Amino acid sequence: MEGDLKGALNRGELTPFYQPIVRLSTGALSGFEALVRWRHPRRGLLMPEQFLPLCDEMGLMSDIGAMMMREAARQLAVWRHRHRAAGELSVAVNLSTGEIDRPDLVSDVQTIRRETGLPAGALKLEVTEGDVMRDPERAAVTLRALRAAGAALALDDFGTGFSSLSYLTRLPFDTLKIDRYFVRTMATNEGSTKIVSSVVKLGQDLDMEVVAEGVENAGMARNLLALGCDYGQGFGYAPALSAQEAEVYLNESYVDGAAPLKARG
């Protein structure tokens, strides 16, 4: 596996797949989150947990992060050019652990926006609580630079860590993402419902958008909407799709006026 990974990036085997993000109130497609997959020549399509830990050991995460930003932004620019209705879509890319400290991160965002012509906010970077809280002051400097470079910013898996709320008010995040665990257990755990409700209220008070992960069916979507949540993503709408599949999904959602959603889990 290690030997295969050494050339996988250069061979284009590591590639973004795209999971739809949908506005809960209307079902309209809002954008995609880009998630890495490995098209292994012998093992088939591999999920991140099957190879990212080894990538981390090999020091490849920064290279993968740069590739994901570049390819996801390029793909979004293609969709926005081909489909007039896609002009408001965004694409979100996860920053891997420690990538917020990568020296070329801000300049990469500037270069990518210049080469693709994407407007400010179309490329969104997702950062975990843990990455921010390792060194909040340093993270704040980098996040402000990324925002100035035209990237939107999301705080991922909010609620799973022990972040200081005082820092949240000082950091330039646009979006809070609720961890899928709380979303999936709302029906059976009153505490999860209270946490989701609190995060939604916090996002509203701070003028942030709130995205719920792990939306598996229409019932979940209705419950989240009742709590005031803005957006959802999860298998109820679609898994992460190849670029070709995502474009089909994009077309179908605009023809139908709303993204398809499973009635039940």
pLDDT digits (tens, 9 = 90+) for 161-179: 655 677 788 889 999 999 9
* 221: confidence class by pLDDT, cuts 50, 70, 90: very high
Q: Is beta strand 44-46 parallel, antiparallel or unpaired with respect to 90-94?
A: unpaired
- Check the CA dihedral 121-126-129-133 and report its sign: negative
Q: For the chain, what are the domain ranges?
A: 2-256
pLDDT digits (tens, 9 = 90+) for 176-219: 999 999 999 999 999 999 999 999 999 999 999 999 999 999 99
Taking 70 as the threshold, does the pLDDT of residue 256 lie above it?
A: no
Q: Which of 249, 221, 247 is nearest to 234 (CA)?
A: 221
Identify the bridge partners of residue 170 per DSSP, sorted by sequence position. Answer: none
The superfamily in CATH containing domain 2-256 is EAL domain (3.20.20.450)
Taking 50 as the threshold, does the pLDDT of residue 259 lie above it?
A: yes
Percentage of the chain modeled with pLDDT above 90: 75
Q: Quote the tokens at residue 134.
A: 């390792």
